[in-house]
């Protein structure tokens, strides 16, 4: 497949908690995504979006998020684990759209203070994104004990995360390219070719 167009990837930061440490992981993931020239990156943050009340009708969604998800070829979600699930602000943002996700891949990074790196948050998120029509990548990156992973300037202390995150990014690129080809060339009841 020879397609020079950039892949539009939306990086979604998963919390609005003041002082959240997930911010450091999101910044790191962002730097890894930005290394790839074939990616055109957008950034979605629940703190910057206006999604009042619940639901996905016109008054309940932010046009900026609607536009970036409509154009997206794929998503990378960085989520902390709150009580073995995802933050309400992340779920609220995701819930504000639906058809814009169909037949598009999503990769995950999980963040926690405990030793499991947000694995339970990601597992709970997988059932939701599946219902939204996304396809979950299998290359999750886990950031356990996040309070020990970065120095005071936000620099990552363990280089092993570079290779783990790169694996997730390159898999997302492959999935995004493949699924864009599918959306544009293979008929489906969910999109026109």
Ligand X SMILES: Cc1cc2nc3c(=O)[nH]c(=O)nc-3n(C[C@H](O)[C@H](O)[C@H](O)COP(=O)(O)O)c2cc1C
Q: Which residues bind ligand X (CB under 6 A)?
A: 15, 17, 20-22, 80-84, 111-114, 146
- Number of residue whose CB is nearest ligand X: 114
Closest alpha carbon to 144 in 107, 119, 163? 119
Give the CA distances from residue 101 to residues 29, 69, 106, 174, 175, in Å, rounded to whole numbers and listed in that order. Answer: 21, 7, 9, 17, 14
In the complex, least distance from residue 78 CB atom to ligand X, rounded to whole angstroms: 9
In the complex, least distance from residue 118 CB atom to ligand X, rounded to whole angstroms: 7
Residue whose structure tokens are 């997988």: 126
Distance CA 1, CA 141 (A): 28
Which CB, 22 or 100, lies closer to ligand X? 22
In the complex, least distance from residue 61 CB atom to ligand X, rounded to whole angstroms: 24
**C-alpha 154, offset from chain centre:** 21
Which CB, 113 or 186, lies closer to ligand X? 113
Which CB, 16 or 56, lies closer to ligand X? 16
């Amino acid at each position: 497949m020879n397609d020079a167009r950039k892949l539009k990837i939306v990086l979604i930061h998963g919390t609005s908690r003041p002082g959240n440490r997930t911010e450091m992981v999101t910044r790191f993931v962002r730097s890894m995504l930005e290394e790839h020239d074939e990616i055109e990156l957008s950034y979605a943050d629940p703190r910057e979006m206006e999604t009042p009340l619940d639901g996905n009708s016109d008054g309940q969604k932010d046009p900026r998020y609607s536009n970036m998800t409509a154009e997206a070829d794929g998503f990378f979600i960085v989520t902390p684990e709150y009580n073995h699930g995802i933050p309400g602000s992340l779920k609220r943002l995701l819930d504000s759209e639906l058809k814009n996700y169909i037949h598009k891949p999503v990769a995950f990074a999980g963040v926690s203070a405990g030793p499991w790196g947000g694995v339970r948050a990601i597992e709970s998120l997988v059932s939701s994104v599946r219902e939204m029509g996304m396809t979950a990548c299998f290359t999750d990156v886990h950031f356990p004990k996040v309070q020990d992973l970065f120095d005071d300037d936000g620099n990552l202390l363990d280089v092993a995360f570079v290779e783990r995150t790169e694996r997730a990014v390159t898999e997302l690129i492959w999935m995004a390219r493949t699924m864009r080809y599918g959306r544009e060339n293979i008929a489906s009841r969910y999109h026109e070719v």
